[in-house]
């Protein structure tokens, strides 16, 4: 249970950092309070965790030849695709999470990966 909470909190923190760094990433509505934005951030963190747990391994397996050919750089594109899928699933559940532009997806996914990895290293059991 602790691992799930650390993952969700890490994803939410990573999304918050990415939204703070990039103008093209928006979590929550501009006119709402911070509690609603925090709930939206946590729910999008759950969606991102589910996408990374279910879809990402299959996407990495399918794109393995490209990952090997590019010496791992194609993983950035796979992570950007997972962020896009997270935005689409969040939109389907009426969560206000928007990302605009390919480069925002790419660099946002990079920031999210780095911050999530740092949170997992600091608070994870593994």
> In this predicted structure, what is the pLDDT of residue 31?
67
Which tokens hold the place of 9? 């909190």
> In this predicted structure, what is the pLDDT of residue 37?
82
| Domain ranges within the chain, ordered by starting residue | 2-123
pTM: 0.89
d(CA 6, CA 67): 28
d(CA 7, CA 29): 24
> In this predicted structure, what is the pLDDT of residue 33?
63
> In this predicted structure, what is the pLDDT of residue 32?
64
Closest CA to 22 of 116, 84, 109, 94: 109
pLDDT tens across the length of the chain (126 residues): 788 888 899 999 999 999 999 999 998 777 666 788 888 999 999 999 999 999 999 999 999 999 999 999 999 999 999 999 999 999 999 998 999 999 999 999 999 999 998 988 888 765
What radius of gyration, in Å, describes the C-alpha atoms of the chain? 14
> In this predicted structure, what is the pLDDT of residue 121?
87
């Amino acid at each position: 249970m602790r691992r799930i909470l650390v993952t969700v909190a890490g994803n939410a923190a990573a999304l918050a950092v990415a939204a703070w760094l990039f103008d093209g990433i928006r979590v929550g509505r501009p006119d709402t309070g911070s509690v609603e934005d925090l709930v939206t951030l946590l729910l999008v963190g759950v969606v991102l965790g589910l996408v990374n747990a279910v879809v990402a391994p299959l996407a990495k397996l399918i794109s393995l030849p490209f990952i090997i050919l590019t010496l791992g750089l194609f993983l950035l594109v796979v992570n950007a695709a997972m962020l896009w899928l997270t935005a689409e699933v969040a939109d389907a559940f009426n969560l206000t999470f928007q990302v605009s532009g390919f480069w925002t997806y790419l660099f946002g996914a990079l920031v999210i990966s780095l911050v999530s990895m740092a949170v997992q290293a600091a608070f994870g059991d593994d």
